[in-house]
Structure 1
Amino acid sequence: MIVGYAIGRSIDARLTVAALKAAIDRRKPPPGVVHHSDRGSQYAAERYRDTLAANGLIGSMGRCGKSLRQRQGRKLHENAEGRGGLSDALRNLEEITEHLPHFIEEVYNKRWLHSALGYLSPQQFEDQHIRQTGKSAA
């Protein structure tokens, strides 16, 4: 589930720190939660690592070039083109800024079925996890 995001013209530590802070503000994870990312320089940046540490989060990085998030992002873009022409509607940063929050919250998180989640949406998967364990997601 996407719980924090930021929109900008370049992927750098400022953008990823803004997304991380949005996720922290939304979920308020307890100390010790593991945050996994790829080995992109924006995640390895001191500013990003300091933000993780200041919030008691543990950074974890995958192998180079093997980011699930990158593959899902490409898949999201490819699938979006086939689902109502989203890419046609999002031609510039202003339009992306206007439309992306709705897409993330209402389509991707609530209705997008993922084979890795047993063909549940991220929200359905999280709800199932909470019912089964009695623990809410951080």
Structure 2
Amino acid sequence: MCLVLRPAPAVSEKYEFMQSLSTGDESYEFPVVFMCVRLRVSRSGFYEWRNRTISATARRRADISRHVVLSFAESDETYGYRRVHAELARWGVDCSPELVRSIMRELGLVPCQPRPWRHSLTEADAGAGPIPDLVNRDFTADTPGAKMVGDITYVPTWEGWLFLATVIDCHTKAVIGWAMDDNYRTPLIAAAVEMAARNCDLPPGAIFHSDRGSNYTSAEFAETLKGLEIRQSVGRTGICYDNAMAESFNAALKVERVHRTAYPTRKKAYADIAAYIELRYNTTRLHSGLGYRTPSEARDEYLSRQSAA
């Protein structure tokens, strides 16, 4: 099975302890003296705090804190204060982003952080002909499937690298096509694009945009796109901003899942990453580019508008 490498629970022991004691119930699991020593609070200070009249502001902050902890936990400890605030708004909890930020700092709720180093898989094909950039860093689209971006990233396992090719829809921000293998040759990216074509009704003139890697600019991949009636677009070599949307997904995957998990086999990595894509990223993860909606909600709203038209 996958080994999830996570630090100690982000919700502080002190917070849980104080919340449990605020009920006034004396039947605690451990003696009060023992818990006070462990949490570095004085016994007299605890009893003074417990008997103190709680203000309406403190009660409201405690209630919001419980929602913040729940949202953070349900995100697998990946949400920062902006996404937690957006989640609370969806739950009908009225508070400001700065209050959420203050509570998260107080409770020690720190989302997983990106790593600074990144290995590049982009190797330009010196023999590639001219391919235009039809996107020009505009990663928006009016309809699903009209504009797509793709990239390859790598996942370490104890058996060696597992390579992941993705196709992301610019309208819904969903990963609509993906493929994994122990290499990143052209059939891998072709399989991802073919999955996208099956999963999404591509409109005429649909665009697929990528970096200028040798596989993406190969004649074999060009034939795949031509057979699917998809126009090809590429950015400049070594300019990550030209494919920023695909790079952003890769970063989210690495930060929220891969860097926190050890994979004994490629098979385990495959299953875990597929679950992340289909069960988290596409369906439950709030996306800032969608006004803190999920990709599945964006697609459902588009289909509802089309049905009403």
Same-fold call, TM cutoff 0.5: yes
Q: 1:102 to 1:48 in 2, by over 3 A?
A: same
TM-score (norm 2): 0.39
Q: Measure the CA separation in 2 of the matches of 1:71 and 1:12.
A: 22
CA displacement, residues 26-51 of structure 1 (integer Å, 9 cap, x when unaligned): 22424321122222222111111111
2:206 to 11, 33, 41: 33
Matched, 1:96 2:269: yes
Is the contact made by 1:4 and 1:19 (CA closer than 8 Å) also made in structure 2?
A: yes
1:1-138 to structure 2, matched below 5 A, reads 1-63=174-236, 64-66=239-241, 67=243, 68-80=245-257, 85=260, 87-88=261-262, 90-132=263-305, 134=306
Deviates more, 1:28-37 or 1:40-49: 28-37
Q: Which amino acid aligns with 1:65?
A: C
Which of the two has higher C-alpha Rg?
2
Question: Counting helix residues as a fraction of each chain, which structure ranks higher?
Answer: 1
SS across alignment from 1:111: coil
1:104 shift after superposition: 1.2
Q: Measure the CA separation in 2 of the matches of 1:117 and 1:5.
A: 21
Q: 1:59 to 1:2 in 2, by over 3 A?
A: same
Q: Measure the CA separation in 1 of the matches of 2:264 and 2:292.
A: 30
SS across alignment from 1:42: coil
Structure 1 portions without partners, runs of 5+:
none
Q: Measure the CA separation in 2 of the matches of 1:91 and 1:13.
A: 26
Q: 1:93 to 1:39 in 2, by over 3 A?
A: same
Structure 2 portions without partners, runs of 5+:
1-173
SS across alignment from 1:107: helix
Q: 1:36 to 1:93 in 2, by over 3 A?
A: same
Q: Which amino acid aligns with 1:96?
A: A
Is the contact made by 1:31 and 1:55 (CA closer than 8 Å) also made in structure 2?
A: no
Deviates more, 1:61-70 or 1:100-109: 61-70
Percentage of identical aligned residues: 26
Deviates more, 1:51-60 or 1:40-49: 40-49
Q: Measure the CA separation in 1 of the matches of 2:303 and 2:294.
A: 14
Q: Measure the CA separation in 1 of the matches of 2:258 and 2:186.
A: 28
Is the contact made by 1:110 and 1:121 (CA closer than 8 Å) also made in structure 2?
A: yes
SS across alignment from 1:98: helix
CA displacement, residues 44-90 of structure 1 (integer Å, 9 cap, x when unaligned): 111111111111111122343222212321222102268xx4x23x3
SS across alignment from 1:123: helix
